[in-house]
Amino acid sequence: MSLKAVIRGCGMYLPEKIVSNSNEDLSKTIDTSDEWIRERTGIHERRVAAEGEYTSDLAVRAAKAALQSASLQASDIDLVIIATTTPDLTFPSTAAIVQAKLGVEQGAAFDIQAVCTGFIYALSTAEKFLICGQHKRALVIGAETFSRILDWSDRSTCVLFGDGAGAFVLEAQAEEQAENRGVIGSYLRCDGRMVDLLYVDGGVSSSQTTGHVRMQGNKVFREAVNRISQAMEHVMEEAGISVKDVDWFVPHQANERIIQGVVKKLDLRSEQVISTIAKQGNTSAASIPLAYCAGVADGRIKQGDLVLLEAMGGGLTWGAALLRA
């Protein structure tokens, strides 16, 4: 029997605290301006987790919302995969912590680390586990408290990122039952020779510290549009789908200029883009499910729509995925 990994539901959570670009917030502590940040990135504000609020807490809130939208219980889940760069602890995985907080008592749980591309890696991994029949229902979560690894005195990085979590419930369904819905394909890439462009300057084995994000933003920017576009073209070609068939484009929210560059290169329309960057900033692995949920919540993404996802992040890693909602 041939199986498909169908998205049964999705959910999201954003912390309450808003940090804006205005004089009262960022421009008071670093040499920047609302105008610079808006023009270069499209970001107006971002959310920051409260003291004592961990990545697992954000993930649990998003997962509960996703379960509710799927009309499922924790006991229906037998796989928890979390894409995160900001785990609660060095070990165990944040997925293990979330599994316990949700009350999931069966199956497997693990984290995936591919920085901003993490959700594409996690979705692709979950799909493989489901279509081979090993697991039945997966929670695939992108969750980050990136605010904790920012150097808040470094204006070239701290203005870009935010905290949040988004989750999908994926279910293995027989092809006849799925009616063409589900993950159609994905394409994952990494080129570790570009570690220096984007990394955290600390770690368990090297410094025994957590470290802070360091990025040569303009160099990453130059790599972004071509690599992302190639990944999207690859995933569409493999699936025999033309860009004209795509209903919605849900990109990783790193920079509005990168998103628009990809839109132009692939001949998409701006109205097809689900963009959350203005109010959320770059939430790393959480940004794709957060944007997808926003599109579902406001009625843009409907059952049966063809949706194209993409991301690029530290590693460098990049990739794309295609699904029917």
Q: Which residues bind ligand ACO (CB under 6 A)?
A: 32, 36-37, 40-41, 115-116, 155-156, 159, 198, 217-218, 220-221, 224, 254-255, 258, 282, 284, 312-314
Q: Which of 158, 252, 255, 293 is catalytic?
A: 252
**For ligand ACO, the closer CB: 100 or 194:** 194
**For ligand ACO, the closer CB: 102 or 288:** 288
Closest approach, Cβ 1 to ligand ACO, in A, equals: 38
Closest approach, Cβ 261 to ligand ACO, in A, equals: 11
CB 130 within 8 A of CB 171: yes
Q: Is residue 282 annotated as part of the catalytic site, yes or no?
A: yes
270 is written with which tokens?
């701006």
Closest approach, Cβ 193 to ligand ACO, in A, equals: 16
**Residue count of the chain:** 325
Region of 16 (left: φ > 0; alpha: ψ -120 to 50; beta: rest) is alpha
Answer positive or negative: Cα dihedral of 21, 22, 26, 30.
positive
CB 314 within 8 A of CB 115: yes
Q: Is residue 252 annotated as part of the catalytic site, yes or no?
A: yes
**For ligand ACO, the closer CB: 99 or 282:** 282
**For ligand ACO, the closer CB: 156 or 272:** 156
Closest approach, Cβ 147 to ligand ACO, in A, equals: 13
Region of 53 (left: φ > 0; alpha: ψ -120 to 50; beta: rest) is beta
224 is written with which tokens?
């972004």
- The SS3 assignment for 202 reads coil
Q: Which of 116, 158, 212, 255 is catalytic?
A: 116
Q: Is residue 226 annotated as part of the catalytic site, yes or no?
A: no
CB 5 within 8 A of CB 170: yes
Question: Which residues carry out catalysis?
Answer: 116, 252, 282
